[in-house]
Amino acid sequence: MKLTSLTKILLWLLPNLFFFADTAYSRQGQSKNKPNIVIIYTDDLGFGDISANGATKISTPNIDRIAAEGLRFTNAHATSATCTPSRFSLLTGKYAWRKSGTGIAPGDAALIIPTDKESMPGMLKRAGYKTAAIGKWHLGLGPKGGPDWNGDIKPGPLEIGFDYTFIMPATADRVPCVYLENHRIVDLDPADPILVSYQNKVGKEPTGKENPELLTMNTSDGHNGTIINGVSRIGWMTGGNKARWIDQEMVNVFTNRATNFIEENKDKPFFLYFATHEIHVPRIPNSRFLGKSGMGVRGDAILELDWSVGEVLKILDKLKIADNTILIFTSDNGPVIDDGYADKAAELLNGHTPSSMMRGGKYSAFDAGTRVPFIVKWPAKVKGGKISDALFSQVDLYSSIAALTKQKINDDNAPDSFNCLNTLLGGKKNRDYVIEQSLKSTLGIIIGDWKYIEPSDGPRMNIGTNTELGNNPKPQLYNLKYDIGEKNNLAETYPKKVRALSQKLQQVKEA
Ligand code: NG6
Ligand code: CA
């Protein structure tokens, strides 16, 4: 059959039209398979801490805007009820409980993420992304034995695939209280070197233990090492005076770095891992937010976080790249009210419920430990204003993002991460179970409506934080559909269910 000239022209035009469309996209640093990726990873923010999830005593308009323009999950989980293991799992696609030494890291821990495997930033770098980690790190730095704080601090985030980093090494309640830009402490005067110890006091500076009268905030539990900026921290440090952060300024410092990174890379596909300090302790908000929530500093820190999120949204809008940027907003673990500083968070709570209807909180095997806020906004692909009750685990972000960017993952990497891109973008459910890890690694599993927590001899309460840990020497089984507060242990009534869930958990453990 002979083709008419018109058909020939049409046949030529069709594929080339797609080509032209794609290059137009790429010129904006974006293509269908390479949207910009921003993960806003908040710290200790509870499911019920944002008005998008039903909070009425606090208003989070910027976070709510992500929900209004995106997809809000009600059953998405961090892998763990504490920070270091959740971050480890998110970036490596591997359950932290498979690897020893992945619990809450001291501030002088060596890098926990292996450099001989490809973690999420490495995979995205391979995909042609410009990658950055800004904010809290808390995954260790340096070789075995810890980092050389006065020299090149490596290996660290740069060695696992981040092109640029501006981080705090661990948490704001742990020394050293300094920022790191790439391999170096920012503004470190070589004439005033830094010394850090988690074993014993170093230097002559006052500590919370010896000089509580110097504190602006008493410690209710622990945190009685070196006093920095009126607040005593975990661990001891001396030196590095010029390099020390000012807590009240931290939100500005990190947010500026994050928005600058976006601006500088607007023409390339970029991946920004923006791990906020908010709302972890010590809660020392900027004066713009101090006293503004009517709920004490914990509420003020939520407002501060919301502002910071708003700045990210604003710059994406201003640069006209919001449409093809996939923005994921979530938290590393559930909420805690008193986490070791007498900051009146409990007294001033004013009826606010950070755990929403869930039981427990940070550290806990109950659901509030890991069921966290999780919202995805990608205007080009994801319908706004929708809610998903699908199970989702942060461990799946690695494989889902690899699928999105069309990257292969070899067998050595991301062993626990499933491609759940469909779920992530509001399509069909990909995952039928989720594993949760509590403070001392009691594991739980959710399959459908059912949740099983393995027996544990661990303490029932975390005394300092007044959190129910969910440990019980007997197996626990809850039906989350009817009992989201995990009040009625049905293990004795449904032994077959217990067997089915515990066997699945065992199978995953042995995989
Ligand atoms: C605990 C700290 C707590 C917090 C937590 C880590 C005490 C008494 N408590 O050991 O304040 O720092 O570790 O939080 O020291 S996380 O979100 O980084 O996991
Ligand atoms: Ca945390």
**What's the pLDDT tens digit per position in 470-504?**
999 999 999 999 999 999 999 999 999 999 999 99
Task: Using a pLDDT cut of 90, give the percent of the chain over it.
Answer: 92
Q: Is residue 278 within 6 Å of ligand 1 at its C-beta?
A: no
- Closest ligand to C-alpha of residue 333 is 2
Summarised one tens digit per residue, pLDDT across range 421-459 is: 999 999 988 899 999 999 999 999 999 999 999 999 999
- The per-residue pLDDT for 49 is 99
Token pair for residue 236? Answer: 């001891």
Q: What is the mean pLDDT of residues 408-412?
A: 94
Which three-class secondary structure state does DSSP give residue 437?
Answer: strand
Q: How many residues does the chain have?
A: 511
Q: Residue range 36-44: average pLDDT? A: 99
**Alpha-helical runs (H) found in 127-273:** 250-264
- In the prediction, which pLDDT does 142 show? 98
For ligand 1, atom 16, name the residue with the nearest CA. 83
| Tens digit of each residue's pLDDT (9 = 90 or more) over 150-197 | 999 999 999 999 999 999 999 999 999 999 999 999 999 999 999 999
Q: Is the Cβ atom of 464 under 6 angstroms away from ligand 1?
A: yes
Determine whether the shortest distance from the Cβ of 118 to ligand 1 is under 6 A: no
Six token digits for residue 168: 């705090």
Distance 102 CA to ligand 1 centre (A): 14
**164 phi and psi angles, rounded to 5 deg:** -145, 140
User: To 5 degrees, how large is the angle CA 27–CA 310–CA 25?
Assistant: 10
Alpha carbons 31 and 369: distance in angstroms, whole number: 37
Q: Which ligand 1 atom is nearest residue 136's CA?
A: 18
Q: Whose CA is nearest to atom 12 of ligand 1?
A: 173
* Residues 315, 323: Cα–Cα separation, whole Å: 12
Which residue has the CA at smallest separation from atom 8 of ligand 1?
222
**Paired residues of 295 in beta bridges:** none
Residue type, 342: A
b/e per residue, 387-408, with b = 16+ CB within 10 A? ebebbbbbbbbbbbbbbbbebe
What is the average pLDDT across 17-23? Answer: 43
Pocket-testing residue among 44, 80, 82, ligand 1, by greatest number of atoms within 8 A of Cβ: 82
231-232 vs 227-228, strand pairing mode? antiparallel
Beta bridge mates, 395? none
Domain ranges of the chain: 36-194+243-428, 200-238
Query: Who's near 31: CB < 8 A, 6+ residues apart?
Result: 22, 25, 269
Residue nearest to atom 17 of ligand 1 (CA): 83
Peptide bond into 463 cis (omega under 30): no
**Which residue owns the Cα nearest ligand 1 atom 4?**
339
Question: Ligand 1: does its nearest atom lie under 6 Å from the Cβ of 104?
Answer: yes
Instruction: Name which CATH class applies to 36-194+243-428.
Output: alpha beta
DSSP-derived letter for residue 111 is P
Ligand 1 atom 7: residue of nearest CA: 222
Dihedral Cα 139, 242, 239, 224, nearest 10 deg: -60
pLDDT digits (tens, 9 = 90+) for 252-273: 999 999 999 999 999 999 999 9
Distance 138 CA to ligand 2 centre (A): 10
**Band of pLDDT at residue 507, cut at 50, 70 and 90:** very high
pLDDT tens for 198-218 read 999 999 999 999 999 999 999
Query: Tell me, what's the pLDDT at 2?
Result: 45
Q: Where are the alpha helices (DSSP H) in 28-132?
A: 61-68, 83-92, 120-126
Confidence of residue 222 (pLDDT cuts 50, 70, 90): confident
Report the half-sphere exposure of 302 (CA within 13 A, side-chain side): 32
Q: What is the pTM of this model?
A: 0.94
- Cβ contacts of 428 within 8 Å, gap of 6 or more: 422
Of the chain, the percentage scoring pLDDT greater than 70 comes to 94
* Structure tokens, 502: 């515990």
Side-chain half-sphere exposure of 92, counting CA atoms within 13 A: 26
| Predicted pLDDT at 20 | 42
For ligand 1, atom 15, name the residue with the nearest CA.
Answer: 222
Q: Does any ligand 1 atom lie closer than 6 A to the CB of residue 109?
A: no
105 alpha carbon to ligand 1 midpoint, in Å? 9
Question: Quick check: ipTM above 0.95?
Answer: yes
What's the pLDDT score for residue 18? 44
Q: What is the pLDDT of residue 26?
A: 43
Indicate if the pLDDT at residue 17 is higher than 70: no
- Which residues lie across from 168 on neighbouring strands? 136
Counting ligand 1 atoms within 8 A of each CB, the residue from 171, 441, 469 with the most, and so the one to mutate, is 171
Measure 277 CA to ligand 2 centroid, in angstroms.
9
Among all bound ligands, the one having the nearest atom to the CA of 173 is: 1
